[in-house]
Amino acid sequence: MVRQGEVLGAAVSFAALPVILASPPAASAQQAAAGNAAAGARQFLACRACHTVAPGGANGVGPNLAGIMGAKAGTRPGFAYSPAMKGTTLVWTAAEMDAFLARPNARLPGNKMAYAGMANAAARRDLVAYLATLKAK
């Protein structure tokens, strides 16, 4: 007969089990939150129809995105922004970029980006990680 705390007659301690199950490895949690820049570069292929990324490169239908992370929205030189984008105080942090990419017109009504949004949160994290690698010069 098997008693409580025994598995096939051997004593087993379950005291640490909730801690083990409730604590994901720190590296995995950080990796998930940060996104994968290489995967984001693949996601960005669809964005190339409107945006360029070369430092000092020309604007396209959308602004050049080199150095976009940490910059104030609506301030890229030579791009004709909507009044909504010019008038915002938004700064492109990872959280702001994620919210904007999810639903651009919900995050900033009146902007002229003709994109409905990216529903996949993991894909957005990857894309934001890629954008963070793009330096201005």
The answer to whether the Cα torsion of 86, 89, 92, 94 is positive or negative is negative
Query: Whole-structure pTM over 0.85, yes or no?
Result: no
SS3 4: coil
- Which of these, 108, 95, 115, lies nearest to 44 by C-alpha position? 115
**1: pLDDT confidence band, cut at 50, 70 and 90?**
low
Reported as a single tens digit per residue, the pLDDT across 41-74 is 999 999 999 999 999 999 999 999 999 999 999 9
Q: What is the pLDDT of residue 26?
A: 36
Burial of 107 (0-12, 13-18, 19+ CB in 10 A): middle
Q: What is the pLDDT of residue 55?
A: 95
Q: Residues 6 or more apart from 39 whose CB is under 8 A from it? A: 123, 126, 129, 130
Q: What is the pLDDT of residue 36?
A: 97
SS3 66: coil
Structure tokens at 59: 């604007």
Residue 93 scores a pLDDT above 70: yes
Residue 94 scores a pLDDT above 50: yes
State the CATH class of domain 35-133.
Answer: mainly alpha
Percent of the chain with pLDDT over 90: 73
Reported as a single tens digit per residue, the pLDDT across 18-37 is 433 333 333 333 444 589 99
Residue 6 phi/psi, 5-degree rounding, is -120, 145
Query: What integer is the mean pLDDT of 72-82?
Result: 95
Residue 15 scores a pLDDT above 70: no
Alpha-carbon distance of 68 to 94, in angstroms, equals: 11
Residue 40 scores a pLDDT above 90: yes
Alpha-carbon distance of 126 to 42, in angstroms, equals: 9
